[in-house]
Amino acid sequence: MGDISDQLNQLMQKYEQLEVQWKKECDSVQKKDELINQLKLELNEKNKLIVTLTSEVDSLNVYINDSISEKKQQTSKLNELDKKYQKVRDEYNKLKQKLIDRDLHIQEQEKEYNLLNSQVQSETERLIKTYENKIQQLEEEKDQLKQVNEQKEQKISSDSYKKWFILSVVFYPLIFGLTKFLSKKK
């Protein structure tokens, strides 16, 4: 009986360890999901900024083109406007290049997100299968222990009960005394 209780206790400890490990894995997945959500928010903010900058650049281009057509008659002002236009155009190209670079960076982040998400999903599925298998094994072991225990209990006859009773009456004082003696020794 003591062996079965020990085995059941060991199985329960294994089960609790698996449950703790499962909770840790769930927390890890949740943290990764939170990071992914944060990256999505940052991505949305960057997209809004891109739209705003594009609109500003387009407005600036319209303004420059209108100014050039109005001032073509005045040569000196035209030169000034040409210089201004060139400067703004350079800024526009820089902004445009930044937007292109940001788009590329965003695409890389999306790829990383997709890769991370697929890894998390496959790892989660693997863990779920592993834990399901372990739980099933533990349940089968528990059922087997119950069956063995029931079979042992069925084999014990009334004579055995009498023998155990007599032995317990005889050995109880010895065991009790030995236990006290050993506990005093410590």
Here the tokens at position 24 are: 């840790």
Tell me how crowded residue 127 is: count the other CB atoms within 10 A of its CB: 16
**pTM score:** 0.31
Q: Do 167 and 143 share a structural domain?
A: no
Residue 21 · residue 134 · CB < 8 Å: no
31-67 confidence digits (pLDDT tens): 999 999 999 999 999 999 989 989 998 898 888 888 7
Q: Do 141 and 177 share a structural domain?
A: no
60-96 confidence digits (pLDDT tens): 888 888 877 776 666 776 688 788 889 988 988 998 8
Residue 145 · residue 8 · CB < 8 Å: yes
Q: What's the domain range around 171? A: 159-186
Q: Which of 17, 99, 86 is nearest to 55 (CA)?
A: 99
Per the structure, the count of domains in the chain is: 2
Residue 7 · residue 145 · CB < 8 Å: yes
